[in-house]
């Protein structure tokens, strides 16, 4: 018995010593903290309900269950809805859906999709090169340098933003989905991405030990292995193909042979790198200024994400002008906040977390960004706005890439109040951008580091 008592005492000594350190939870503090739950009937009811139900279900606001009015005063007409499956390619689907809507309208097509897999192939190849070349460029910096450490934490991913759309398509063109369809790996990218990351990190350590000329030569050898893995996972990207065009009624129009570049030139033809302006609503930084984020690009010799930071009302003006002219836009937001996926609505009144947990959540948009509580996480295609009699927006609609059966007919409808709080990025054609905003782009942008919160890629 004495032996057991001594052992118990010895085991308690380290904990007792640790608990006396300043800043730790002391027994007295624990006694006070534990009063937060006093087993009132209301608290017990919440605890019992949470034991068997998701928080999102219990936080549903019962006073807001009716469906939002689905009428919109101004709509960009599109056909079909795409599905990114289990991949982080929303940025690509959104960008291609903007071009798809334009092509369907211009050529009176039926359902049509560009091959997301084709662009994904070159996206992953270019990102691999971007990472390896960045490792070469920083090989003289210590391994624990902030930039090197960030690179090693982010070797490759399938998320991204609009500069990836513009740079990749300008460089490699596009093809119809029928020419290079999806594969299991393109729809389910997690393990493929992990394997590519392991290989790239292995290569990074090797490149850091080489002089520049040998490293450049070795990088090409490394990329041949990456290319082979991509072909085995995604297929061989076509260099030439035949495509038959039909109109919306199924009538034959033409049959021709194309390369990805000639197909782009004939059916898209837009200068993606110079015809679009990227806008941001980031209240943590000065408005009416241009910012650039280092390494926030898909192609090493391409463009970083460069945006004009504007008040939300100015962004809305351009969005409305674009929709009224039947032109869809690349749009990104924090999509999971207050999302009712069954109805397809984004509404601050969808969930009542304060009542469920008997506490408030008072942070505003600026504070949420500063604390990483919110950020741009998902890209979609902005296609509609509903304006009141004074021309002010009541609600908006985006075409999503989660399939035709998700949300509201494959779309999400957001209230204007939600738009204010959780919309972050919009890409518009230059013709809808006022001259004073275009003048802002003439100045030198402020460069932000790669680990800036606004770097977060849309997935």
Catalytic residue annotation: 90, 378, 400
CA-based nearest residue to 262, from 238, 298, 234, 227: 238
CA distances from 324 to 191, 318, 320, 380, 386 (A): 42, 10, 6, 18, 11
CB 287 within 8 A of CB 447: no
Give the span between the Cα atoms of 363 and 369, in whole angstroms: 10
- According to DSSP, residue 176 is labeled B
CB 331 within 8 A of CB 95: no
**What's the token pair of residue 248?**
């919306």
Question: Residue 299: which residues within 8 A CB-CB, separation 6 or more?
Answer: 126, 130, 164, 167, 168, 171
Q: Quickly count: other Cβ atoms within 10 Å of residue 283's Cβ.
A: 16
Question: Residue 201: which residues within 8 A CB-CB, separation 6 or more?
Answer: 152, 155
Question: Residue 261: which residues within 8 A CB-CB, separation 6 or more?
Answer: 172, 173
- According to DSSP, residue 293 is labeled E
CB 182 within 8 A of CB 117: yes
C-alpha dihedral sign at 283, 284, 290, 296: negative
Give the span between the Cα atoms of 392 and 414, in whole angstroms: 14
CA-based nearest residue to 279, from 427, 416, 119: 427
C-alpha dihedral sign at 200, 203, 205, 209: negative
List alpha helices for 39-89, DSSP H. Answer: 41-50, 55-58
Give the CA count within 13 Å in the CB-facing half-sphere of 222.
27
Q: Quickly count: other Cβ atoms within 10 Å of residue 256's Cβ.
A: 12
């Amino acid at each position: 018995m004495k032996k057991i008592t001594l052992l118990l005492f010895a085991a308690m000594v380290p904990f007792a010593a640790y608990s006396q350190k300043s800043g730790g939870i002391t027994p007295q503090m624990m006694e006070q903290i534990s009063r937060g739950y006093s087993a009132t009937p209301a608290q017990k009811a919440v605890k019992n309900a949470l034991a068997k139900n998701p928080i999102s279900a219990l936080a549903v606001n019962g006073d807001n269950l009716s469906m939002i009015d689905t009428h919109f005063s101004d709509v960009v007409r599109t056909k079909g809805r795409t599905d990114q499956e289990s991949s982080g390619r929303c940025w690509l689907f959104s960008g291609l859906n903007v071009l798809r809507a334009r092509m369907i309208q211009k050529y009176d097509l039926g359902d049509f999709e560009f091959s997301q897999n084709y662009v994904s192939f070159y996206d992953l190849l270019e990102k691999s090169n971007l990472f390896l070349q960045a490792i070469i460029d920083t090989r003289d910096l210590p391994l624990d340098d902030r930039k090197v450490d960030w690179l090693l934490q982010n070797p490759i991913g399938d998320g991204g933003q609009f500069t990836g759309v513009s740079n990749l398509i300008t460089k490699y063109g596009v093809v119809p989905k029928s020419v290079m369809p999806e594969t299991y790996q393109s729809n389910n990218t997690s393990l493929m991405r992990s394997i590519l990351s392991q290989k790239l990190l292995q290569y990074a350590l090797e490149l850091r030990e080489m002089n520049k000329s040998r490293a450049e030569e070795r990088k090409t050898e490394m990329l041949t292995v990456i290319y082979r893995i991509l072909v085995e996972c995604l297929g061989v990207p076509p260099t030439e193909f035949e495509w038959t065009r039909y109109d919306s009624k199924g009538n034959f129009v033409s049959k021709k042979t194309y390369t990805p570049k000639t197909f782009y030139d004939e059916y898209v033809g837009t200068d993606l790198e110079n015809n679009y302006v990227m806008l941001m609503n980031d209240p943590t930084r000065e408005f009416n200024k241009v910012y650039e984020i280092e390494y926030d690009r898909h192609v090493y010799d391409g463009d970083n994400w460069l945006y004009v930071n504007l008040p939300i009302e100015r962004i809305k003006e351009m969005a409305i002008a674009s929709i009224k002219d039947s032109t869809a836009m690349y749009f990104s937001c924090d999509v999971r906040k207050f999302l009712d996926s069954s109805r397809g609505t984004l509404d601050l009144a969808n969930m009542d977390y304060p009542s469920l947990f008997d506490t408030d959540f008072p942070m505003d948009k600026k504070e949420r960004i500063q604390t990483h509580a919110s950020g741009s996480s998902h890209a979609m295609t902005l296609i509609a706005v509903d304006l009141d009699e004074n021309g002010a927006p009541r609600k908006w609609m985006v075409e999503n890439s989660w399939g035709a059966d998700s949300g509201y007919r494959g779309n999400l409808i957001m209230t204007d109040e939600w738009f204010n709080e959780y919309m972050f990025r919009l890409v518009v054609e230059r013709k809808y951008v006022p001259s004073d905003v275009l003048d802002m782009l003439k100045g030198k942008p402020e460069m932000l580091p790669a680990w800036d919160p606004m770097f977060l890629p849309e997935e």
